[in-house]
């Protein structure tokens, strides 16, 4: 019981400090987080914040990832491959083939596309991972602030109940 009475006497900053002791933070970061949690609203729109800082290369990487990861791209690409194979095996015969079997030119084109496409997709995924990290940090801060607000509401409810008891005792004493 002594510990719960001690906790009731703590300020919001004390509670935040106790919660933050569970995680390693630099003293400067801890102080900044305390001020942020106690004094300011903390919810941010990570997507909007990130979209304002996009470079041209970031937008291109997102678009390439969006297109290359779609069923439309896969179907069109399979269609292109089939067209290439049919064109070079059936339609263009008797030495006029652009790329006769085993399709060395096609292999070169596919390798070049893969060599360019993979890093572009990785850039987009790295940026998405960064956005996810920002979202997680934002969620943690919001959860922490919600916990503080609930604790404060709980303390106020206890105070109201205590005052109500005093009022009821006063009323009962005067009615006797």
Give residue limits of the domains in the chain.
41-175
Share of the chain residues as helix, strand and coil, in percent rounded to the nearest 5: 80, 0, 20
pLDDT on residue 77: 93
What is the mean predicted confidence (pLDDT) over 168-174? 91
- Measured CA to CA, the distance from residue 44 to residue 46 in angstroms comes to 6
- Measured CA to CA, the distance from residue 53 to residue 5 in angstroms comes to 48
Residue 102 clears pLDDT 80, i.e. is over it: yes
The listed range with the strongest mean pLDDT (48-62, 81-95, 125-139) is 125-139
**Quick one: which of 62, 30, 43 has its CA closest to 130?**
62
pLDDT on residue 86: 87
Cβ contact 155:19 at 8 Å: no
pTM: 0.55
List of residues 6+ apart from 138 with CB closer than 8 A: 42, 43, 44, 46
CA dihedral 52→57→60→61, nearest 10 degrees, is -100
């Amino acid at each position: 019981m002594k510990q719960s009475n001690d906790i009731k006497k703590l300020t919001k900053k004390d509670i935040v400090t106790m919660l933050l002791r569970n995680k390693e933070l630099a003293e400067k970061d801890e102080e900044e987080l305390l001020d942020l949690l106690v004094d300011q609203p903390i919810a941010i729109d990570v997507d909007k914040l990130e979209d304002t800082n996009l470079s041209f290369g970031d937008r291109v990487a997102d678009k390439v990832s969006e297109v290359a990861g779609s069923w439309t791209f896969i179907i069109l690409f399979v269609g292109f491959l089939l067209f290439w194979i049919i064109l070079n095996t059936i339609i263009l015969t008797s030495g006029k083939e652009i790329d006769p079997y085993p399709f060395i030119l096609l292999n070169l084109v596919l390798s070049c596309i893969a060599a360019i496409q993979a890093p572009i997709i990785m850039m987009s995924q790295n940026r998405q991972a960064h956005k996810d990290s920002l979202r997680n940090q934002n969620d943690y801060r919001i959860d922490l602030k919600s916990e503080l607000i609930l604790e404060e509401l709980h303390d106020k409810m206890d105070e109201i109940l205590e005052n109500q008891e005093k009022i009821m005792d006063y009323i009962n004493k005067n009615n006797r």
